[in-house]
Structures are given as structure tokens and as C-alpha cells.
């Protein structure tokens, strides 16, 4: 096991304490240390990066490998659903209908960015004004963001530079404006992506190289991607993938103004008046410890952020929650899977998880004839163990017949998947609270998710599903189908629960990410999102977290925290 401590161990006083080292927490730490602040990061998970704080990148070693058993079957970086479960219910009339993995994100240094394949499209200007464009939607709770695209654009550029994003400018007529080009050109395309793009083009759509934080050439000391095929759900052995750990977090550690303590499980926040005065945690040996700082940031993911605020007020409604909105408006992207089976082999195990996408099915809030769906990823399936399990457990194929199926590989090497990341309507009824009966390994109540899809995203799926199948057919598939929905949802895109806005009556945090009711507690992850957009959220999480951190130093003009060049 790697050392649970990284960075400057001589630090004794901290300006800011950050809970969580994932995309949001790492981006916030990078900005704060860049601006001279001393930062303590508490991470509940283990560290699998040796010498992450070494100035020579070649000295960094990881525990990651192309090992399907280690990563997806033995939960190397995932929380164990037996000891750290969540519970799920479709509505408040039930106590729960499921116990286990409810959209868990990795619990490790670098957080969900370690297992993500780091697709990094930007949100579009319209995404920040959904309520204004859509008006009132029955049963939904849409709201405009308290900031606009232009206020985030410089932070998008900043994070693209730090992560190392490959892409192509003006690749579609739908691209948002940008003030700087992508740091790198697109890498090697996958065959499945080229075929899907060809099919989309035949139908008049506009496929494009998917923006991705994976090096197409050596960048910032990290090597170029070798297209090994183990990208989504895997830590990158070479660190060609720009996860938060090897990019933003490493930069924070190298300033000498950051200390990271992993395997340190936060239990609750200590409050006095309108101030947070400490964080109670268990150290790697399970001993209670209290950490203090001048300011605090929640960046443990939307579900865990809400859980911590609720745990910090035993028997009450949670701190910062006088309006009852902590945990409300939980959103997952509503994923529609269109599956095509080909007579030819597509070699989807070679290359990044996704190299091409389609934006035509995103729709527009200003065009009532086009429902708001989402960006479409053109990918496939690359994991042989998952394939074997699907044959044996789902279809009942075993023995010699299983071996023949594995050789022919109809559900891996001949499969194309179009995945639409549909916008998920925010609803007050979709929420996070504490389960009254289930507790985790530390004896704390686990998070309970209440979630049911709205007609908004269900109608978009109905509208775009035939069009997705048309693309698969035009790409040459022998046949295709729409896959059944996962219940509970497993998109791993989690947003909402601590919405930010200008009105304390309708939001939890203000436009700078600070809780309305607390002077020194901020949020710097997807919890802030008032709406989910229909695009992958990682880059927006990091850009927003960077802006929140800059606003802590420059409250009236956070853009002052950005130098001309990263």
C-alpha cells in the first residue's frame, strides 16, 4: 500500500481544508495553492500513486494495470457495497427497495477521475439558462445557474490546459465558443468510432472527435496514450490519462503548500454559530482526530456531500438546511443505450473507450420540436470477463459452447454501443437522506437515494431511440436494439443536492459556492449544479471548482486568480 500522506508534512496551519481529492477537490486545491493558500486535503480512500509529489514524473509508480479482476471484480478503488452500501427507493412511499451499489463513485486518491475515461466536452451557453428557456415544467424544478458560460470560459481553458485535452476546434456547428484551442489534436481513432461516424454522416448528422483528457502526444511530462483499451473503469498504468490525481492534485502537491491525507474518513463537521470550526475524522488506524482550518470545502461527490451535512446535525435536519433543500434535486444522466451487432469484428478492445461522438441529439431549449436529449458516445465493449459472465449468468451458456461464444464474441468484438447522456430533469422528490436502518463500517447511517425519472427525459429517450438505431443501421449493423434501463441508475454522473443560486430560499449555496447559512463552508463539485445538461460533467465540475477556489481569494472577481497562461 502506498503512503497515506503526500505533500508537505511540515505544514501545521491550513487556510483551507478540502474533503475529497477527486475532480472537484483537486481542481480547487490546484487553484488555492497557485494563489498562495495552504491546503489540507482529506481523502477517505487509499492512495495508489507512489511518489505523486515527486517533481520528476518518471519516478511516479501506480498500482494500476490492465487487470479486469482486480478493478471490476475485487473493487480495488470502488467502495465495498457490503461494508459501505447505499440504499435506494423509487419514491418516498417505500423505505427502500435495494441495498448495495447505488451509483457509487471510486473512493481513492483522485476520486472518480481515476476510473473515468475522462471525456471532457464543455457545457453550452444555453445549459446555464434552462429555466429561462423552458419555463415551468410540471413536476420538475429547473433553475438558471447563477453564473453564465462566459464567466466559466476562462476556467474551462485553464482546466483543459492542466488536464491535457485532445480535440478539434469547430468540429460541429453546435460547438460553444472558446478563447483558446485544445492543447492537443485528436489521437488515433477507433474502428468502431469511424464506422459509427460514417453512419451518422450518411444521415446528415455531424460526428466529431470526442474531447478527451488523454494524451495524444507527450504532454506535461506524461507519455502519449498507447491505446491499450483499458480506459473506462480502470486507472491508467502510464498516467497518459489526465485524471485529477496526476494533473491538478499533483500540481497542488508540488507547490509545497498542500498536504494530502488518504485513508482518513471524515465523520462530520463541527459547527459553532455560522462557522465550521473543525472536521471530525478517523485516521488510517481508526483513531478519532479533529482537523481545523480557516475555511472548508466539500468535494466528496453530491451524495456524500449531502450525507455529511446531514450527519453533522444528529437528530436534526442537517446544517445549512433551514430551507430543507440539502439533498434535493439529485440528478443522474439518463443514459439510453442503442446496441448494434455486426457480422465483422470491430476490435473495440483496442483504443480509448470513445473516440467519436454526435451532438445532433442534444436538442435545444429554444426549439420545442427537438427534445433535450444529450451528447452521444460511439463506443463498444472491451472486457472479456464481463462478456463471459453475460453469456453464463444472463443467457445460461456454459462449457464448450461458452468457449465458442467467446471466440466468436458477438457481445464484445462485434458490438457497437451508442450511449446518449440524456439531460435529467431536476426534481425536489429526487433526493438524498440518511437511511434509518442501515449503517456503514464506521457505524454511521448510509445515504439513501430516492429517485424516479421524469417524463422530460423519458420522452427524449422515446424520441431519439429510433434515430440512434438508424445510425447503427447506417453504420452496417446486422441488427440492433435499445438496451433495458438499469435500475437503480448506474450512470456514475451524479449532480445536484446542494444547488447554488442567488436566492437563499431556493438554493443551498450562493454564486461563489459558499453555503448561504455558513460563513466559511464552500462546495466545489457537481453538488452545485442546478441542472445536469446533456454532456459529460467532469470538465465543468473542475472548471467550476477552480472558480469557487478563486472566488475564496478574490470574492468580487475570481477571474483575477487566473494567470495569462497555465
Q: 198 vs 194, 293, 317, CA distance in Å?
A: 6, 54, 53
pLDDT over 60 at 369, yes or no? yes
Q: How far is CA 181 from its chain centroid?
A: 23
Domains and CATH numbers, the chain: 1-62+105-167+210-329+496-566 (3.50.50.60), 187-209+334-422+452-487 (3.30.410)
Q: How confident is the prediction for the chain on average, in pLDDT?
A: 94
Residues 6+ apart with CB under 8 A from 292: 14, 17, 277, 278, 279
Burial letters 347-380, b for 16+ CB under 10 A, else e: bbbbbbbbbbbbbbbbbebeeeebbbbbbbbbbb
User: How large a percentage of the chain has pLDDT more than 70?
Assistant: 99
Lowest mean pLDDT among 207-221, 479-493, 552-566: 552-566
Question: What stretch of H or E contains 157?
Answer: helix 149-163
Q: Assign 383 a pLDDT band (cuts: 50, 70, 90).
A: confident
- The SS3 of residue 340 is strand
Q: How far is CA 48 from its chain centroid?
A: 19
* Confidence (pLDDT) at 94: 96
pLDDT tens digits along 436-491: 999 999 999 999 999 999 999 999 999 999 999 999 999 999 999 999 887 777 88
Q: What is the pTM of this model?
A: 0.96
Measured CA to CA, the distance from residue 178 to residue 176 in angstroms comes to: 7
Measured CA to CA, the distance from residue 72 to residue 63 in angstroms comes to: 14
* Confidence (pLDDT) at 491: 87
Cell of 184: 492537443
Strands 265-272 and 98-100, how do they pair? unpaired
Q: How long is the chain?
A: 566
Cell of 314: 444528529
Q: Do you find a cis peptide bond into 488, omega within 30 degrees of 0? A: yes
Closest among 475, 468, 388 to 190, alpha carbons compared: 475
In this prediction, residues 485-498 reach a mean pLDDT of: 88
Cell of 285: 488506524
Identify whether the C-beta of residue 411 lies closer than 8 Å to the C-beta of residue 390. Answer: yes
Higher pLDDT, 241 or 367: 241
Identify whether the C-beta of residue 258 lies closer than 8 Å to the C-beta of residue 33. Answer: yes
pLDDT over 60 at 1, yes or no? no
Measured CA to CA, the distance from residue 172 to residue 45 in angstroms comes to: 39
Measured CA to CA, the distance from residue 76 to residue 136 in angstroms comes to: 44
In this prediction, residues 249-275 reach a mean pLDDT of: 97
Amino acid at each position: 500500500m502506498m503512503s497515506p500522506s503526500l505533500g508537505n508534512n511540515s505544514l501545521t496551519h491550513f487556510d483551507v481544508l478540502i474533503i475529497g481529492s477527486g475532480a472537484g477537490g483537486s481542481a480547487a486545491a490546484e487553484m488555492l495553492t497557485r494563489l498562495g493558500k495552504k491546503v489540507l486535503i482529506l481523502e477517505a480512500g487509499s492512495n495508489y500513486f507512489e511518489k505523486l509529489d515527486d517533481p520528476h514524473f518518471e519516478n511516479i509508480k501506480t498500482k494500476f494495470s490492465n487487470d479486469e479482476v482486480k478493478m471490476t471484480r475485487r473493487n480495488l478503488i470502488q467502495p465495498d457495497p457490503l461494508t459501505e452500501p447505499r440504499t435506494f427507493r423509487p419514491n418516498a412511499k417505500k423505505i427502500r427497495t435495494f441495498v448495495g451499489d447505488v451509483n457509487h463513485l471510486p473512493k481513492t486518491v483522485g476520486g472518480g477521475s481515476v476510473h473515468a475515461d475522462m471525456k471532457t466536452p464543455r457545457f453550452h451557453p444555453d445549459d446555464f439558462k434552462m429555466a429561462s428557456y423552458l419555463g415551468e415544467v410540471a413536476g420538475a424544478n429547473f433553475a438558471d445557474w447563477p453564473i453564465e458560460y462566459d464567466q466559466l470560459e476562462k476556467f474551462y481553458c485553464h482546466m483543459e490546459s492542466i488536464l491535457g485535452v485532445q480535440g478539434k476546434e469547430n468540429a460541429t456547428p453546435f460547438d460553444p465558443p472558446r478563447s483558446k484551442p485544445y492543447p492537443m489534436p485528436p489521437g488515433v481513432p477507433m474502428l468502431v468510432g469511424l464506422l459509427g461516424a460514417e453512419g451518422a454522416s450518411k444521415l446528415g448528422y455531424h460526428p466529431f472527435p470526442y474531447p478527451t483528457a488523454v494524451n495524444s502526444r507527450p504532454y506535461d511530462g506524461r507519455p502519449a496514450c498507447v491505446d491499450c483499451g483499458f480506459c473506462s473503469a480502470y486507472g491508467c498504468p502510464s498516467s497518459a490519462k489526465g485524471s485529477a490525481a496526476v494533473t491538478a492534485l499533483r500540481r497542488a502537491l508540488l507547490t509545497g503548500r498542500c498536504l494530502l491525507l488518504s485513508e482518513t474518513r471524515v465523520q462530520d463537521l463541527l459547527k459553532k454559530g455560522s462557522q465550521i470550526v473543525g472536521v471530525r475524522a478517523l485516521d488510517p488506524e481508526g483513531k478519532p482526530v479533529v482537523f481545523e482550518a480557516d475555511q472548508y470545502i466539500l468535494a466528496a461527490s453530491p451524495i456524500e456531500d449531502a450525507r455529511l451535512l446531514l450527519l453533522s446535525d444528529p437528530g436534526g435536519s442537517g446544517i445549512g438546511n433551514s430551507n430543507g433543500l440539502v439533498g434535493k434535486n439529485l440528478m443522474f444522466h439518463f443514459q439510453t443505450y442503442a446496441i448494434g451487432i455486426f457480422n465483422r469484428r470491430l476490435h473495440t478492445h483496442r483504443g480509448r473507450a470513445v473516440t467519436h461522438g454526435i451532438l445532433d441529439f442534444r436538442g435545444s431549449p429554444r426549439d420545442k420540436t427537438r427534445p433535450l436529449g444529450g451528447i452521444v458516445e460511439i463506443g463498444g465493449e472491451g472486457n472479456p470477463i464481463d462478456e463471459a459472465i453475460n453469456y453464463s449468468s444472463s443467457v445460461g451458456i456454459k462449457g464448450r459452447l461458452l468457449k465458442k461464444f467467446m471466440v466468436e464474441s458477438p457481445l464484445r468484438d462485434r458490438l457497437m454501443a451508442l450511449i446518449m447522456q440524456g439531460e435529467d430533469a431536476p426534481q425536489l422528490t429526487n433526493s438524498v437522506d440518511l437511511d434509518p436502518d442501515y449503517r456503514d463500517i464506521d457505524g454511521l447511517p448510509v445515504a439513501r437515494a430516492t429517485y424516479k425519472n421524469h417524463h422530460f427525459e423519458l420522452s427524449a429517450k422515446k424520441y431519439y431511440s429510433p434515430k440512434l438505431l438508424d445510425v447503427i443501421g447506417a453504420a452496417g449493423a446486422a441488427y440492433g436494439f435499445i438496451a433495458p434501463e438499469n435500475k437503480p441508475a448506474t450512470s456514475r454522473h451524479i449532480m445536484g443536492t446542494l444547488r447554488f443560486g442567488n436566492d437563499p430560499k431556493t438554493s443551498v449555496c450562493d454564486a461563489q459556492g459558499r453555503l448561504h447559512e455558513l460563513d466559511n463552508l464552500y462546495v466545489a463539485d457537481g453538488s452545485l449544479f442546478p441542472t445536469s445538461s446533456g454532456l459529460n460533467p467532469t470538465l465543468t465540475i473542475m472548471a467550476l471548482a477552480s472558480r469557487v477556489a478563486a472566488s475564496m481569494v478574490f470574492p468580487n472577481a475570481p477571474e483575477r486568480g487566473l494567470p495569462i497562461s497555465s
